[in-house]
Amino acid sequence: MKQITLLLMIFSITISCNKEESTNANLPEVITYVVTGITDNSAISGGEIITNGGSEISECGICWSTSVSPTINDNNTVEKGLMAFECNMTNLEANTRYYVRSFATNEIGTAYGNTIVLETNESDNDGSLNIPTVQSTNVTDVTLISAICEGTVTDDAGYIVTDRGFCMSQSPTPTINDTLLTNGLGVGSFTTKLDSLGINTTYYVRAYANNENGTAYGSTMVFTTVTFPFLNPDFKYDFVTDIEDNIYSTIDIGSQTWMTQNLRTTKFNDGSNIEHITNNTIWDNTFTDAYCWPHNNFDVYAETQGALYNWFAVETDKLCPDGWHVPTNNDWNILFDYLIENGYNFDGSTEENKLAKSLSSELSNWDSPSSDEGAPCNTPELNNTSGFSVMTSNFRIYNGDFVSGLLVSFLWSASENDMYTAHTMLIDGASSIVEISSEDKRQGSNVRCVKD
C-alpha cells in the first residue's frame, strides 16, 4: 500500500511539473521575408522564427489573402521543423494586391509575422508584355529622416531597362506617379538612400523597372522612421537642421512652428564659432557669447538636454538656423495664449495659465510629487498634450557652477530685462504655471527656436 501511495505522489508531481513547463511557454516570434520572384500568377516569400516561445514548433509557413491580415484559414503553405523557410505562392490572380505574412504554431497557438503587400504583374498570356523582373530586396539603416532601400533587376525580358529605382508613398502600393527615385538602368542590383523623410512616419516603398513594354514592380516594403523617446508618439513631427547638420524635431502649434528639442549647435548660422568655456572663473567674467555642455559632459547631455548658452550668444541673433530665431516674450505669449484658449491647461480650462503639464515631456525625470495637481511632476504620463516636449535640464549660474536636480527648465527669451538680466521661459516641475522669469545674462540656459 505504501508503494502505491508513493507511486501516486511521484505521478502527481510529474503532472504538476509538466503543467508548469507548459504554462511557462509563450507564442513564437516570427518575421516575414520580402516577396520576390513576382509574376502574374506566382511569387516567393518566407520567414524566420526568432524564438519558439519555449515550446516546439509544430508547423510554420506563409499565408496570403486579398484582405488585410491573412491567417492560416486563408491560402497558405506549411513547413515543419524549420527555423527559416521559403515558400512558393501559386495560382495567384494577375494584377491583384495580396497581403502576405509568415506564421509559426506551437502548443500555445499561432503567431504571425509582419504583413508584406504584394502586387502581381499584369497578365502576359499572349507573351507580348515582356516587362522586366524586379525585386524589392530590403530596407536598412532607418533613421529619423532617412532610410536605405535595396533592389535588383533580375531579368530585362529581352529589352533594355531604360530606368529603375524606387517609388514611395505614405499609402500602400506606390507607383511611378508617386515620389520617384531613379537609380541607373539595366540589369543588376541598386541601392538608394531616401532623405528628408518625416519623423515617426510610415512609408511604403517598392522597386520598379521600365523597358519599352511597360513598368514592372517589386513587392511593397513598409518601414517607419524612428522618433526621439521624449516626443509624444501621437504627433507627427517635421524637422530642421542647423549649420552643423544637427537634426531637430519641429511641430506646428497654432500659427507658429517650434523646435521640440533644445539647440546644440557650436557655431552661429554664419559659420563662425561660439566660444566654448568650461572654466568657472572665465565663465563668470565673460560678457560675450559663450556656450558649454551641462557639467561639461557632451557624451551624457548633448542629445537629451542640448547646449547651455549665455544670453550674449542669444542677442547676436545668429544662434538659430536661417529662417528661425530665439523667441521673444511676445513669441512665448502667443504660444501660451493659443494653448490656453484651446483647452491645453491641465484641467481643460480656458482661463489663466496652467500649461506646465501640456508643455513638458512625459519621459523626463519629472518624478517628485507636488501639491499642485497640474504640476509636471504629478502623473507625468499625462504630460505633453501639446507635443512641445520640454525636458528637465541642468543649468549654469553666472559664477560658472552647474545646478542639477531642481526639476526645472530654463529656455532663453530674446527679450532683455535690463542691463544685467534677460528673460527666460521657466517651467518648474512642482508648479502648473509657466513663468517668464528674469535671469543673469551670464546664466547658461537652453534655447528653443521658433520659425520666422
CB crowding 144-183: b at 16 or more within 10 Å, else e: bbebebbbbbeebbeeebebbbbbbbeeeebeeeeeeeeb
Least confident range from 38-52, 204-218, 391-405: namely 38-52
Which CATH fold would you assign to the domain 133-224? Immunoglobulin-like (2.60.40)
Q: Are the C-beta atoms of 373 and 380 separated by less than 8 Å?
A: no
Which CATH fold would you assign to the domain 29-119? Immunoglobulin-like (2.60.40)
In the chain, what are the domain boundaries?
29-119, 133-224, 238-451
Name residue 367's amino acid.
Answer: D
- Residue that the C-alpha cell 508618439 belongs to: 233
Q: Are the C-beta atoms of 436 and 332 separated by less than 8 Å?
A: yes
pLDDT, the chain, mean: 89
Q: How confident is the model at residue 412 (pLDDT cuts 50, 70, 90)?
A: very high
Least confident range from 129-143, 359-373, 385-399, 431-445: namely 359-373
Nearest CA among 192, 211, 50, 206 for reference residue 130: 211
**Per-residue cell: 364:** 523626463
The answer on pLDDT for 317 being more than 80 is yes
Please write the tens of the pLDDT for every residue from 63-116. 999 999 999 999 888 887 678 888 889 889 988 999 999 999 999 999 999 999
Q: How confident is the model at residue 227 (pLDDT cuts 50, 70, 90)?
A: confident
What integer pLDDT is reported at residue 181 of this predicted model?
93
What is the Cα 274 distance to its own chain's centre?
Answer: 31
Same CATH fold assignment for domains 29-119 and 133-224: yes
Q: Are the C-beta atoms of 295 and 344 separated by less than 8 Å?
A: no
